[in-house]
Structure formats: structure tokens, C-alpha cells
Amino acid sequence: MGKLKEAVDARKNYLINRLIIAGYTKMDDCRQLYEMPLPDLERMNIHIACSQAQKYKLDEPNI
């Protein structure tokens, strides 16, 4: 197996594990996470991270 394929598979596994921890096991269209291409997993991970970040409001510093 080529190094690029190994790197892609490792990244996909990492993202799938993060998504499972966040409570996602499959998509709305019934696709399993392991069936999704890397760009879709990246996009979904970014969307979840942004959604979670919006829950926290940072206080503005007193200047």
C-alpha cells in the first residue's frame, strides 16, 4: 500500500473516531461513516467543531 493511501486511511480513522465520540455513527442519508470520502468527513468534523465553539462565549477583555 502506498504512503498516501496509508495517510488518507489514518486520517479517515482519526476523523471517524472523533465523530463517533461526538455521537455520530451514520449520516442522514443512512451512509455509514466508513463509507464517506475524506473531504466529507473533514467537512463534518469542522462543522461539529464550529457548532461546539459557538456554545462558548468569550468575555471581552477590560481595556
44 CB contacts (<8 Å, ≥6 apart)?
15, 19, 24, 36
Going residue by residue through the chain, which has 63 residues, state the pLDDT in tens, using 9 for 90 and above.
699 999 999 999 999 999 999 888 888 788 899 999 999 999 999 999 888 877 776 666 666
Q: Which three cell numbers stand for residue 41?
A: 468527513
pTM of the model: 0.78
SS3 of 31, please? coil
Residue ranges of domains in the chain: 3-46
Distance of CA 23 to the CA centre of its chain: 11
